[in-house]
Chains A and B, each alone.
Chain A
């Protein structure tokens, strides 16, 4: 198994703020690697360093065997980076945008038109080659951005919250494209806030306040979850929550519809008894232990974030 991305104590400061804090990660070639974490946890900053757009304050990153600090320009030929914000030209048509990108990457001119048409067909834009990019819908814009960023067939794709502005149907379709590319050997690093998307990744890393707090396959992360999840049903769910959240053994609670999920410390051997004993008789509740989901993993891993909110620095070129 070859490694597409490898970092050693990758760190980036913006003034006093540590945006990325000694991150060590390793992404196998051909995998879809998910990047999770609260807003401002350093996901975008990490990606920008991996693309050679930002210099690390310390540490290093090797991407596709290329040192990102020593040879960023060589790296740029082999990667694609889809920014969080739509970054193609809104006042150019779909085809004009792709022609521009094609020329910038010096793709062969003789087959340029066929190449672009094929790309438009593939990403469902074949019926609107002459439409201005700015007038496309959110899903169409995102497909155009993906068509542009994959035009030069990069070996590695960075996707920064690619699905934050699209509907569930388009998201599903988008992930089909990603699996297609992954099948053909493209490595994909994708950031997301959607847990269903995180579950689709081959491996995940959770960042919190710049530090990597958990990583592994979704299955491993669930298996290793340092908590028991108890589902609680009650008529007075808010009052139950108020009572339980005060307990030292309860890490966090989350209300899901009429249910409450309580994350209980793993040392507590009988979590249901532990919770029941703390509720008074006026608050009857039925409880059962359930399988954790990735959201539970996320909440546990990023617990510290609540005391330690950071801001994503707005970086402009």
Chain B
């Protein structure tokens, strides 16, 4: 057995430091990733949810019922943003994603309180987002009137979409977006950078091919791959985890298409920034992690500070999550979710233009 040479190990390590020092992007990431991520996520991620969008139907309309609604608002868990006049209307508002919580106070509310016939009222909860259900649980024991001695079951909680609370039902639709966000961006960014690394690009840019032709041609195969992946995820969700598909598949596939091209355009943009596949991977990761953590997939969107919410509104994943949960779990139509669709289109157009303008058919 030969002994390891410390000098040789040091030679290899020292050479590695040289590589890192020459690679400015990677060098920047060494400090950049921990700083940006820690500050951003430490500041942004908050499991304590506040100000969920809500609406109330108060059929009792007494001083006690109004006081209950005021108490609910004072809890800061919810804020009333819409008005409704029937339970059907509440359900509709929830299905289209305009509110997450509906409060229904029945006409005999006063009587129920007097006879302590719980529950006094009902909470309709959009449980296509698992975070919301947890957040409203605290509301269910809201005291009514002056009876503060015990914690009454004031509200009956009615989860609308996943009453058995099976995790797969929450996770699978969101996973469609999360997986595509990673694979699509990575595939496209690496596909172009690879041409540059291998010297193919110098040949390509000497031909009459136009930048936009190159970009579009590059993403078409990945659009198909995106569709394949999303179909696999959905199929597995249905077969293995019994995920219900309540909306129409057409809506789902249209929305997926828009989402896929918006993520692909991001990949193209990254490919114009990165010089090597290694750099492309790092930059992709830099864009993936915030989307994963801030889009509402893992942590409650409503719990984040306003500034971070605005940032997260830029991410394609944020909007796609809302769309896909709406279509698959809440039987919402794509047209009722158009407010989430156009940001994806806008993202695609802006990023694609940016990528095409950055990609020059020149070497300088």
Using a CB–CB distance below 8 Å, which chain A residues touch chain B?
Answer: 48, 51-55, 72-73, 76-77, 79-81, 83, 85-90, 101, 104-106, 315-317
Of the candidate stretches B76-84, B102-110, B148-156, B192-200, the one touching chain A is B192-200
Q: Assess whether B207 is in contact with A101, with CB atoms less than 8 Å apart.
A: yes
Q: When the two chains form the complex, which single residue of A51, A89, A105 contacts B200, counting CB atoms closer than 8 Å?
A: A89
Query: Which of A51, A83, A87 gathers the greatest number of chain B CB atoms within 10 Å?
Result: A87
B203 within 8 A of A: yes
Interchain CB contact (< 8 A) of B198 among A48, A72, A90, A106: A90
B364 at interface (Cβ–Cβ under 8 A)?
Answer: yes
User: Which of A76, A81, A87, A105 contacts B199, CB < 8 Å?
Assistant: A87
Q: Are A51's CB and B207's CB within 8 A?
A: no
Are A54 and B207 in touch, CB under 8 angstroms? no
Q: CB < 8 Å: which of B199, B208, B362 contacts A53?
A: B362
Whether the pair B203, A72 counts as a contact (CB closer than 8 A) is: no
Contact A317 B196 (CB under 8 A): yes
Secondary structure at chain B's binding surface: helix, strand, loop or mixed?
Answer: loop
Alpha-carbon separation in the docked complex, A89 to B206 (Å): 15
Given A53-B363, A72-B361, also A83-B203 (CB < 8 A)? yes
Chain B residues 195-232 with CB under 8 Å of chain A are 196, 198-210
Nearest Cβ on chain A to B196's Cβ, whole angstroms: 6
Residues of A within 8 A of B199 (CB): 83, 85-87
What chain B residues lie within 8 Å of A76 (beta carbons)?
A: 206-208
Contact B208 A317 (CB under 8 A): no
Give complex CA distance A81, B210 in Å: 17
Q: How far is the CA of A156 from the CA of B284 in the complex (A)?
A: 41
| Residue in A85, A86, A104 whose CB lies within 8 Å of B207 | A104
Q: In the complex, which residues of chain B have a beta carbon less than 8 angstroms from the beta carbon of A105? A: 207-208
Closest to A53 in B: B363
> What are 19 A-to-B residue pairs whose CB atoms are below 8 Å?
A52-B362, A54-B364, A55-B362, A55-B364, A72-B361, A73-B208, A73-B210, A76-B207, A76-B208, A85-B202, A87-B198, A87-B199, A87-B202, A90-B198, A104-B204, A315-B363, A316-B363, A317-B205, A317-B360
In the complex the two chains form, is B362's CB within 8 Å of A87's CB?
no
Contact A87 B207 (CB under 8 A): no
Q: A53-B362, A87-B200 are in contact. List 6 more A-B contacts (CB 8 A).
A: A51-B206, A53-B363, A73-B208, A76-B207, A101-B207, A316-B363
CA distance A73 to B199 in the complex (A): 20
Point out the residues of chain A lying under 8 angstroms from B331, CB to CB. Answer: none
B345-364 to A contact mask, C-beta < 8 Å, 1/0: 00000000000000011111
Known contacts A105-B208, A315-B363, A315-B364: A53-B200 contact under CB 8 Å: no
Give Cα A90 to B203, complex, Å: 13
Per the bound structure, the CA–CA distance linking A90 and B200 in Å amounts to: 10
Closest 10 CB pairs of A and B: A87-B203, A81-B206, A85-B199, A87-B199, A53-B363, A315-B363, A317-B201, A104-B207, A76-B208, A77-B208
Query: What residues on A are CB-neighbors of B204 within 8 Å?
Result: 104
Residues from chain A with a CB closer than 8 A to the CB of B364 are 54-55, 315
Q: Provide the residues of chain A in CB contact with B196, threshold 8 Å.
A: 316-317
Nearest Cβ in chain A — how far from B270, in angstroms? 15
B275 at the interface (CB under 8 A from A): yes
Residues of B within 8 A of A317 (CB): 196, 201-202, 205, 360, 362-363
Chain A residues with CB under 8 A of B198: 87, 90
A85 to B199, CA, bound (A): 7
User: Which B-chain residue is minimally distant from A77 (CB atoms)?
Assistant: B208
Question: Residue on B with the closest CB to A48?
Answer: B363
Chain A residue nearest to B196 (CB atoms) is A317
A85 to B363, CA, bound (A): 15
Assembled-state Cα–Cα distance A86/B198 (Å): 9
Nearest-Cβ distance from residue A22 to partner chain B, whole angstroms: 19
| Cβ distance A160 to chain B, nearest Cβ, rounded Å | 10
B225 → chain A closest CB, angstroms: 17
Distance in angstroms between the alpha carbons of A89 and B200 in the assembled complex = 7
Instruction: Tell me if A79 and B206 are in contact (CB < 8 A).
Output: yes
Q: Are A104 and B275 in contact (CB under 8 A)?
A: no
Give Cα A162 to B275, complex, Å.
26
**Bound form: Cα–Cα A90–B197 in Å:** 13
Give A107 to B230 CA distance when docked, in angstroms.
Answer: 37
- A53, A80, A89, A104: the one contacting B202 at CB < 8 Å is A53
A106 vs B213: C-alpha distance when bound (angstroms): 13
Within 8 Å CB of B203, what residues of A? 81, 83, 87-88
Q: How far is the CA of A105 from the CA of B203 in the complex (A)?
A: 13
Partner of B208 from the list A51, A55, A104, A315 (CB cut-off 8 Å) is A104
Contact between B201 and A104, CB atoms less than 8 A apart: no
Alpha-carbon distance between A177 and B208 when the two chains are bound, in angstroms: 25
B221 to chain A, nearest CB (A): 14
Chain A residues near B207: list those with CB within 8 A. 76, 101, 104-105
Q: Which among B200, B360, B361 is the interface contact of A88 at CB below 8 angstroms?
A: B200
Q: With A and B bound together, what is the CA distance between A301 and B206 in angstroms? A: 32
Evaluate contact between A54 and B202: CB separation under 8 angstroms. Answer: no
The residue of chain B having its C-beta at the shortest distance from the C-beta of A76 within the complex is B208
Q: What CA separation (Å) do A102 and B243 show in the bound complex?
A: 48
Are A54 and B208 in contact, with the CB atoms below 8 A?
no
A97 to B339, CA, bound (A): 45
* A73-B208, A316-B275, A317-B205 known; A54-B362 Cβ under 8 A: yes
How many Å lie between the Cα of A51 and that of B208 in the bound state?
Answer: 12
Inter-chain contacts of A80 with B (CB < 8 A): 206
Question: From A52, which residue of chain B is reached at the shortest CB distance?
Answer: B362
**A101–B209 Cα gap in the complex (Å)?**
10
A54 touches B363 (CB 8 A): yes
CA distance A105 to B210 in the complex (A): 11
For the complex, what is the distance from the CA of A225 to the CA of B222, rounded to whole Å?
A: 60
What's the least CB distance linking A261 to chain B, in Å?
A: 38
Residue with the greatest number of chain A CB neighbours at <10 A, chosen from B204, B207, B360: B207
**Nearest chain B CB to A158's CB is how many angstroms away?**
9
Distance in angstroms between the alpha carbons of A52 and B208 in the assembled complex: 11
> How far is B206's CA from A305's CA once the two chains are assembled, in angstroms?
31
